[in-house]
Structure 1
């Protein structure tokens, strides 16, 4: 049984594997930290053996010097790497920024695939860098957060992979972005850098030996002290390097686990395991494989889609699982012969299969699967499948695509999306736009509103996400004006509907946090500590479509059972289900809840929606999207 069977079967099996992979990663991180503690103890015993005393005060001194040194070096490296962002890494690797509307067909294919994945996963389109000098097949995601992430792809990948194969590779990289793998890697790199502090101490001890000028007893004492210092320094260097090697082994093991998870996530997302498998087969058959020529490749090896370095040390330091192992989980019939498999197999889908998948895209979506890369990171906040995202981009007018790549154009599109169908309300909104941006922009907004009128609500929200990178090109003052205009357009009719609320949450999540960043701490509380907030969210969702009281109560009860177990709770009356109350509840959940509690809440949201009717309605879709964005 591999990823392919799970993708075609019960999605819950995937969630079990995802949880197991995360637990495995946590175990490895704990092992890493235990190694650091063991290093401190080894240094203590070496020091005690040399000086002939194991006084606890010496242990305290060792902990302060060694532990403090490792901590300072680690934090310094974290700060340095987190400030660099993905762009710095991509440029160091020789990457070139791909234009918003490239002329080259391969670059156009790449941009389209990345934009589809971004829309489908509910995240802003990352900057795309092409490694022109690299003829191998590889790709990477780099950055500290989804907001500063970039995607890098080799020239060999865009030339040699077909659309489905490239889609599988990019889905794999988006999984890394949404799963927090980039942040984890930065922390591991920094810990390894911190361990090298021991070698620094060792070198200081080696070079601080006192010199002697005569054969006096004092000089003899100095010689003995010098010898002790020399061997102690040498031992420090040896222990330091052994610790670094141990750390690299642990890092490689963690990286291999995350690669398996990213492969599984990509399959769950694209529903096409053979596309990803074929990309891996092409790597195995290609003369350059996945190896990167850039001298910066060694430090960034763990970021790549496949092994970026050739190593004689075998799998112990390999940052990726063996190609054959990865392929067999995707294609159980693979026999290990790369060239033969490429000659006899094709991942190009037949028209009947394409038609069937298009029909599936129109069916009632599985919210866990349709949450974009929710299978890889539950808090993605998107609903579109890759097929739906592709359809959206293909049907967008060229003028709309052009506007979405420009800050002012993005403002025009978002304002156009919010323009009311009621003429009286639209007139008020038009005057508000003209008052800030002038009549020319006002006319563009009216034109855009006409072009977008036939779009579904989910397509319009996807378009807002597509505009985010361009809108981030505004100045802080321009964003403040834009934010006020958006709010005024929404309240022009003295009410806020679910669609408008979701637009607000989209702007808040992707833009307000970008222009007005605030320190964020990971929540620690379980769902049982947030009962009142969860009750409110599920009550609003159960009543979103005006279901009969008994149906709403039944759906609410199932949702509560999914997230709180046997906890007793009552469906709130309609007058308590307000957007103001929802905002407060989501803010509390976002700041206080642990990741597991957030995941459980979104699972409960799916349970409620599945219990209220046979189809996911636009209101339900918008509300769950807003919840996902607010607690991401």
Structure 2
């Protein structure tokens, strides 16, 4: 299943989630209405009074559920890190010397670079000995990855990579947004049980002697019991919703992890360790009911409405010849000597330096096919992981250290955006001086000096590596960074398409991390309503990538015929050059998934009119795809 088909499935799943939630709320409201009427003896009252009581009971009950859901959802607006911290997660420091934590951070960075998404925050659940993990967030821009201490201690590098790749499939496919929305909805459904216990306690123990003497006329205990029963229905409905939403996605995520890493031993080995170790994947947190659907493994002993498929079935889907009896053999072996991930790494001789490859020369041209590029969106494979490892190796240690620190990452980003044209750079530095002072200018000039001659394949990854440090700043500081990025972009219109696209991508990701929504209205658009925006994008790319008017016009029309066949539109230079695309992104990002696939194919056709791409053109393509929320892995192979 490709990325765009998965996006369509996610939309259908969101609709099903809302439908199930509405049905559950209606059932709970009906139970509460009947129980309150019975507790108050209203069935013997006139029909008008009964109807009035039922109406207000339904309004108050439904309102309480909706407000509780809204309250919990708003509380999660801080992003995936909020979920991780609520479960006891501890942020992995950028300068950690712990070998397990460094291995975890390296694996997460490699998978993020290979996937074409910002590097997420990384957390460890220190008090959880079971093997488990989850990804949380509203979008890749505010995502967090969390793993348990058991996963760090027991999994070797291949197994850890398989688990992280599984979680990244949830990031890429939009499952995270459903997961975090489901937390809010379930809280509202479960809220009535909490209120019911309060009513029961108040009715049974509150009120002093008068209440005891008049207990027969006290309806609070009966109402409390009714609310607890309704809450139990909510628990039942919540588990049913979790199971219906989650189980099939776990099979898909397992398969995606294999597709990403090109080996089954990693994720299958992690699942076997869950089955063979006494701690399994269990968690001790009291919030299991809220988060069980978003975990890598089942958080509790198996139940009727399990959020995950049976462990043996998941392993058998990866290794068809697997015999569940093997888990008993492993359990006996590990009972005496539990596995150690680092020891297994040493025994296998795993070394990222040996796995990575060399980056291509800057003038290397790669043969591409538009449909093959579109098919690779959201589907990183082993060559992309090897490229990510090579990229991390190419960065000097001091640049990596600065990219991971909140006080130095901004100057690196500003240095990335600084134009190579002196007059443009002077305008940008003047804007930077006005906003942040002379010290920021000096730091940016120094950073630009370090980045001089930076391989084109390292520019976008460096921005990805800087992102967690930028996102960690308070909201007000992030707002200042957004303004600075805008100022650097608009200091002079004569910036390259790549510099413009990179600045807009950084701006959009920071905006989404701050406000949980893109910096434009989220609306659905058709190709017909986007004709002018499509033409503007293709015209900008054609003029930027081809030396003469004739070849630019030819490339433009090749791309136009691919996405808007039979709709001739002459190529005209946008009035404001590359800045004209600011008006295009809200329209293009609102295209349906299949239309986005066509647009990416058209973009590739324009950029590679001769059927090949330079390294710089590859990164421009990846940046454009990022603006469309279509993460494109590094292009490392020659599509056949």
If the TM-score is normalised by the length of the shorter chain, which range does it land in? 0.7 to 0.9
From 546, 559, 566, the counterpart of 2:563? 559
1:461 aligns with 2:467: no
3-state SS of 1:130 partner:
strand
The equivalent residue for 2:340 is none
The equivalent residue for 1:321 is 309
3-state SS of 1:574 partner:
coil
**Change in 2 beyond 3 A, CA 1:341/1:548:** farther
3-state SS of 2:62 partner:
helix
After TM superposition, list the pairs within 5 Å mapping 1:78-227 onto structure 2: 78-82=73-77, 85-196=79-190, 198-199=192-193, 200=195, 204=199, 226=217
Q: Is the 8 A contact 1:505 1:630 kept in 2?
A: no
**Change in 2 beyond 3 A, CA 1:390/1:602:** farther
Distance in structure 2 (CA, Å) of the matches to 1:364 and 1:623: 12
Question: Larger relative contact order (C-alpha < 8 A, sep ≥ 6)?
Answer: 2
**Change in 2 beyond 3 A, CA 1:569/1:269:** farther
Deviates more, 1:456-465 or 1:433-442: 433-442
After TM superposition, list the pairs within 5 Å mapping 1:300-315 onto structure 2: 300-311=291-302, 314=303
Deviation of the 1:165 alpha carbon: 1.9
Q: Is the 8 A contact 1:139 1:151 kept in 2?
A: yes
The equivalent residue for 1:523 is 523
3-state SS of 2:135 partner:
strand
After TM superposition, list the pairs within 5 Å mapping 1:62-461 onto structure 2: 62-82=57-77, 85-196=79-190, 198-199=192-193, 200=195, 204=199, 226=217, 234-297=225-288, 299-311=290-302, 314=303, 316-339=304-327, 364=368, 366-368=372-374, 370-371=376-377, 374-375=378-379, 385-421=384-420, 445=444, 448-461=447-460
Deviates more, 1:130-139 or 1:414-423: 414-423
Distance in structure 2 (CA, Å) of the matches to 1:478 and 1:237: 45
Q: TM-score scaled by structure 1?
A: 0.77
Distance in structure 2 (CA, Å) of the matches to 1:54 and 1:266: 60
3-state SS of 2:12 partner:
helix
3-state SS of 1:128 partner:
strand
3-state SS of 1:151 partner:
strand
After TM superposition, list the pairs within 5 Å mapping 1:471-486 onto structure 2: 471-472=470-471
Distance in structure 2 (CA, Å) of the matches to 1:477 and 1:191: 30
Q: Is the 8 A contact 2:112 2:118 kept in 1?
A: yes
**Change in 2 beyond 3 A, CA 1:498/1:347:** farther
**Change in 2 beyond 3 A, CA 1:125/1:574:** same
Name stretches of at least 5 consecutive residues in structure 1 with no aligned partner.
1-10, 214-218, 377-381, 562-567
Q: Deviations over 1:140-159 (max 9, x none)?
A: 22345544432222222223
The equivalent residue for 2:634 is none
Distance in structure 2 (CA, Å) of the matches to 1:293 and 1:318: 17
3-state SS of 2:408 partner:
helix
Q: Deviations over 1:462-499 (max 9, x none)?
A: 20121122234556776677666656665677512111
**Change in 2 beyond 3 A, CA 1:87/1:20:** closer
Distance in structure 2 (CA, Å) of the matches to 1:479 and 1:76: 25
The equivalent residue for 2:497 is 498
Q: Is the 8 A contact 1:537 1:582 kept in 2?
A: yes
The equivalent residue for 1:622 is 620
Deviation of the 1:235 alpha carbon: 4.7
Deviation of the 1:73 alpha carbon: 2.5
Distance in structure 1 (CA, Å) of the matches to 2:564 and 2:253: 31
Deviation of the 1:255 alpha carbon: 2.2
3-state SS of 1:153 partner:
strand
Distance in structure 2 (CA, Å) of the matches to 1:558 and 1:364: 15
Q: TM-score scaled by structure 2?
A: 0.76
Q: How many residues align?
A: 588
Distance in structure 1 (CA, Å) of the matches to 2:5 and 2:485: 41
**Change in 2 beyond 3 A, CA 1:185/1:520:** farther
Name stretches of at least 5 consecutive residues in structure 2 with no aligned partner.
334-343, 631-640
Deviation of the 1:308 alpha carbon: 2.0
Q: Is the 8 A contact 2:140 2:172 kept in 1?
A: yes
Q: Deviations over 1:512-534 (max 9, x none)?
A: 55568888764245444444334
Distance in structure 2 (CA, Å) of the matches to 1:436 and 1:625: 27
Q: Is the 8 A contact 2:411 2:447 kept in 1?
A: yes
Distance in structure 2 (CA, Å) of the matches to 1:118 and 1:205: 50
Q: Deviations over 1:140-194 (max 9, x none)?
A: 2234554443222222222332222212211222233444444433433333333
Q: Deviations over 1:510-556 (max 9, x none)?
A: 33555688887642454444443344335545665334645532332
Distance in structure 2 (CA, Å) of the matches to 1:520 and 1:412: 27
3-state SS of 1:140 partner:
strand
Distance in structure 2 (CA, Å) of the matches to 1:424 and 1:520: 31
Distance in structure 1 (CA, Å) of the matches to 2:220 and 2:100: 61
3-state SS of 1:317 partner:
coil
Distance in structure 1 (CA, Å) of the matches to 2:185 and 2:413: 43
Deviation of the 1:116 alpha carbon: 1.7
Q: Is the 8 A contact 1:609 1:616 kept in 2?
A: no
Q: Is the 8 A contact 2:497 2:541 kept in 1?
A: no
Deviation of the 1:435 alpha carbon: 8.0
Deviation of the 1:461 alpha carbon: 1.5
Distance in structure 2 (CA, Å) of the matches to 1:293 and 1:576: 58
Distance in structure 2 (CA, Å) of the matches to 1:476 and 1:279: 38
The equivalent residue for 2:594 is 600
3-state SS of 2:573 partner:
helix
